[in-house]
């Protein structure tokens, strides 16, 4: 992740042309996947050939990729769906880890965690859950327009999930604004009931 940050902040973006492929692996559906070998010309006029760090099932010679190249570190990062997933996943991991670490420190020091629980509840239900829903919906939309080429059936499935998730986002945010945060109340031994704050 640190290498990705260095390349993105100090590298230069280029269009790279696919000049060949190299067999990568076969996935669970017996689909052979290939890593693209690309070539691009730097601002200095140097022609560079690299194998990209991802694989696809359908790659054609002549396809183009947007890449970011750092001349000092000689690293290439593929811009696109894979990078977006990596960055979003890293952000979520750091956020959750930081919150849990902060909570553990409070517990070890014997401090009251009631305020922290209330804060986490507000942040989780009002920000984190809607953010994750919107981010995942955005990733699906991004995959539809900029991801790997997929069949018509795949496009229909993606559109279906985008529609369902968009409606869920609108419904969740509407309920948060009108009814408050979701709650869980104990109604008996081993029995719980969900509801809304208001």
| pLDDT on residue 81 | 66
In angstroms, rounded to a whole number, what is the distance separating the alpha carbons of residues 94 and 175? 28
Residue 127: phi and psi, rounded to 5, are -125, -55
What CATH number is attached to the domain comprising 65? 2.40.50
Residues 121 and 59 both lie in one domain:
no
Average pLDDT over residues 48-60: 77
List residues bridging with 193 in a β-sheet.
Answer: 185
Q: 89 and 164, same structural domain?
A: yes
Residues 144 and 159 sit within 8 Å (Cβ to Cβ)? yes
- Residue 1: pLDDT above 60? no
Please say whether the dihedral angle defined by the alpha carbons of residues 104, 108, 109 and 110, taken in this order, is positive or negative: positive
One domain for residues 55 and 88: no
Give per-residue pLDDT as tens, 3-19: 555 555 667 888 888 88
86 and 171 fall within a common domain: yes
Residues 51 and 114 in one domain: no
Residues 177 and 89 in one domain: yes
162 with 142: CB under 8 angstroms? no
- Domain closes at, from 79, 97, 130: 79
How many C-beta atoms lie closer than 10 Å to residue 89's C-beta?
Answer: 12
Domain boundary pick from 62, 79, 96? 79
pTM of this structure: 0.53
112 shares a domain with 46: no
Closest to 84 (Cα-Cα) out of 16, 17, 148, 135:
135
Residues spanned by the domain of 138: 82-196
Say what the pLDDT of residue 160 is: 93
Indicate the residue among 48, 79, 110 that finishes a domain: 79
Q: What is the pLDDT of residue 5?
A: 58
Please state the rounded mean pLDDT for residues 136-152. Answer: 78
Asked if 181 and 120 count as a contact pair (C-beta separation under 8 A), the reply is: no
Q: In this model, does residue 40 exceed pLDDT 80?
A: yes
**Same domain, residue pair 130 and 32:** no
**170 pLDDT tier (thresholds 50, 70, 90):** very high
Q: Are residues 107 and 142 in the same domain?
A: yes
Q: How many domains is the chain partitioned into structurally? A: 2
Residues 52 and 121 in one domain: no
Q: What is the pLDDT of residues 171-195, one digit of tens each?
A: 988 888 888 777 767 777 777 776 7
**Residues 183 and 113 occupy one common structural domain:** yes
Q: Are residues 187 and 113 in the same domain?
A: yes
- Alpha carbons 21 and 29: distance in angstroms, whole number: 20
């Amino acid at each position: 992740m640190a290498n990705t940050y260095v390349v993105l902040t100090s590298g230069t973006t280029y269009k790279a042309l696919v000049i060949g492929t190299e067999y990568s692996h076969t996935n669970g559906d017996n689909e052979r996947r290939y890593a693209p070998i690309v070539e691009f010309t730097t601002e200095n006029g140097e022609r560079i050939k690299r194998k990209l760090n991802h694989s696809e099932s359908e790659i054609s010679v002549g396809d183009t990729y947007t890449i970011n190249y750092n001349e000092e570190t000689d690293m290439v990062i593929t811009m696109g769906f894979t990078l977006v997933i990596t960055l979003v996943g890293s952000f979520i991991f750091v956020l959750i880890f930081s919150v849990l670490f902060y909570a553990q420190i409070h517990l070890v020091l014997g401090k009251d965690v009631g305020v922290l629980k209330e804060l986490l509840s507000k942040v989780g239900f009002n920000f984190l859950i809607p953010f994750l829903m919107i981010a995942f919906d955005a990733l699906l939309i991004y995959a539809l327009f900029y991801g790997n080429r997929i069949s018509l059936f795949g496009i229909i499935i993606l559109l279906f999930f985008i529609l369902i998730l968009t409606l869920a986002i609108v419904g969740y945010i509407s309920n948060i604004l009108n009814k408050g945060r979701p709650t869980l109340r104990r109604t008996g031994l081993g029995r719980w009931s969900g509801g809304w704050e208001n």
